[in-house]
């Protein structure tokens, strides 16, 4: 149990260091972005935009309308399974590049790959909450906590 936690922490630290490295080197092609956002959201978002033939502003607008990335893909004629598969494949290529560079080990890449598809699927299905909804949820949580605290006194 403890060994798994340590491994996960080490992997997280390695990936934290790897992102800036990839922003400058491995992503210096098609998906490089000014400011070097690395292989995380920025580069993946750029890939998704290209895949769906939408610029970043069009993606943001669709998200503000309350659409998940899968719903946006489907509106562009790309099925959910195919879309998720392509994004997973893109991310695996990025992880494989880290292995090839020696930034992470093959074992670490395998650990990432074990849950990658599930995490990506969940992120692409997620429907954004507007600022108002987030604040409303926070206020409800705070009110609930205040009631619990007052009962316990």
pLDDT at 125: 93
Give the angle subtended at the CA of 32 by the CAs of 17 and 12, to the nearest 5°.
20
| Tens-digit pLDDT string for the chain (153 aa) | 666 655 655 556 565 655 444 444 343 344 333 333 334 567 888 999 999 999 989 999 999 999 999 999 999 999 999 999 999 999 999 999 999 999 999 999 999 888 899 999 999 999 987 655 555 666 777 777 777 777 776
pLDDT at 16: 60
pLDDT at 74: 96
Cβ pair 123, 91 in contact under 8 A? no
Give the angle subtended at the CA of 40 by the CAs of 102 and 114, to the nearest 5°.
65
pLDDT at 142: 78
Token representation of residue 53: 């033939």
Helix 80-101 × helix 106-125 angle, to 10°: 150
Token representation of residue 152: 């316990």
Q: How far apart are CA 91 and CA 105, in angstroms?
A: 16
Give the angle subtended at the CA of 104 by the CAs of 101 and 107, to the nearest 5°.
125
Q: Where are the domains of the chain?
A: 2-151
pLDDT at 32: 37
Token representation of residue 23: 């922003």
> What is the distance, to the nearest Å, from the Cα of residue 151 to the centroid of all Cα atoms in its chain?
40
Beta strands in 37-148 (DSSP E): none
pLDDT at 37: 33
Token representation of residue 46: 């750029």
> Where does residue 89 fall: left (phi above 0), alpha (psi -120 to 50 degrees), or beta otherwise?
alpha
CA 25 to each of CA 18, 19, 112: distance values in angstroms, whole numbers, following the listed order: 10, 10, 21
Cβ pair 85, 99 in contact under 8 A? no
């Amino acid at each position: 149990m403890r060994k798994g936690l340590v491994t996960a922490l080490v992997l997280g630290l390695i990936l934290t260091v790897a992102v800036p490295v990839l922003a400058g080197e491995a992503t210096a092609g098609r998906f490089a972005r000014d400011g070097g956002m690395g292989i995380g959201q920025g580069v993946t978002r750029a890939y998704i935009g290209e895949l769906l033939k939408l610029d970043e502003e069009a993606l943001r607008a669709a998200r503000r309308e309350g659409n998940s990335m899968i719903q946006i893909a489907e509106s562009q004629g790309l099925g959910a399974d195919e879309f998720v598969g392509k994004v997973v494949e893109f991310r695996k290529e990025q992880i494989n590049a880290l292995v090839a560079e020696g930034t992470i080990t093959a074992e670490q890449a395998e650990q990432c790959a074990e849950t990658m598809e599930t995490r990506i699927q969940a992120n692409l299905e997620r429907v954004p909450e507007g600022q108002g909804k987030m604040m409303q949820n926070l206020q409800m949580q705070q009110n609930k906590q205040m009631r619990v605290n007052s009962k316990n006194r």
